[in-house]
Chains A and B, each alone.
Chain A
Amino acid sequence: GAVVSQHPSRVICKSGTSVKIECRSLDFQATTMFWYRQFPKQSLMLMATSNEGSKATYEQGVEKDKFLINHASLTLSTLTVTSAHPEDSSFYICSARVVGRDYEQYFGPGTRLTVT
């Protein structure tokens, strides 16, 4: 089956530092990957859509200069949280869409970010 990995699974960083989260599709190609954020007891919030070889599309209210997304290959997208603050602490989840099959989307295991 289709597997998506995320690294790291948990990260603790100090306020003001930057953190990079990787999302990889392990056994399929994904021209489109999605980045979500989920706060406790809330549903998933789409942050941005990442397309291989082009700029990401950010949802309203998400700062593109703060959440840098790079989708350099068909199997890797990265999210960098720059100058992190405690309010950025959240569960970040990526998902990848199978090339040519728009209805198939697989989720990574998520990354728990804690900013102190």
Chain B
Amino acid sequence: GQNIDQPTEMTATEGAIVQINCTYQTSGFNGLFWYQQHAGEAPTFLSYNVLDGLEEKGRFSSFLSRSKGYSYLLLKELQMKDSASYLCAVMDSNYQLIWGAGTKLIIKP
């Protein structure tokens, strides 16, 4: 079956760095996505990885290892507004998104 695993909840301090991990097992692979979702809102796109390695975009970076079925989202210089759920999703061989359950990130002052 298809499976995406990520931690349910993480806590970090304002100004610090946090890494959210995601492991996956899917039928085929056409890329891995990270989305941010604030409570009561729709997800917003953060990053897309299809090749191994690190993609950096401002304070956010995303890493992919296809051989390990592993990705992480790295958030630097955390701000209170970064408190949200972070969803990992893999696009399978049918170009369907398979979603993880999301990681709720709590930022403390």
A residues at B contact (CB < 8 Å)? 34, 42-44, 46, 49, 91, 93, 97, 102-103, 105-110, 112
Chain A residues within 8 Å of B42, by CB: 93, 107-110
On whether the beta carbons of A107 and B43 are closer than 8 Å, the reply is: yes
Query: A46 and B96: CB pair below 8 A?
Result: yes
Instruction: Output the least CB separation between A53 and chain B (Å).
Output: 18
Is B46 interfacial (CB 8 A cutoff)? no
Report the nearest A residue to B30, measured CB to CB: A103
Number of residue pairs spanning A and B whose beta carbons lie under 8 angstroms apart: 40
9 tightest A-B CB contacts, nearest first: A102-B95, A110-B42, A107-B42, A43-B101, A93-B42, A43-B102, A44-B99, A43-B99, A109-B42
Q: Which residues of A contact B84 (CB under 8 A)?
A: none
Q: Does B7 contact A (CB under 8 A)?
A: no
Q: In the complex, which residues of chain B have a beta carbon less than 8 angstroms from the beta carbon of A112? A: 40
B27 at the A/B interface (Cβ < 8 Å)?
A: no
Which one of B41, B97, B102 lies within 8 Å of A109 (CB-CB)? B41
Could you give 29 example pairs across A and B, Cβ below 8 Å?
A: A34-B97, A43-B87, A43-B100, A43-B101, A44-B87, A44-B99, A46-B96, A46-B97, A46-B99, A49-B96, A91-B40, A93-B43, A97-B95, A102-B30, A102-B91, A102-B95, A103-B31, A103-B48, A103-B50, A103-B91, A103-B95, A105-B97, A106-B45, A107-B35, A107-B43, A107-B44, A109-B41, A109-B42, A112-B40
* Residues in B neighbouring A91, C-beta threshold 8 A: 40
Identify which of B30, B35, B97, B101 contacts A42 (C-beta below 8 A).
B101
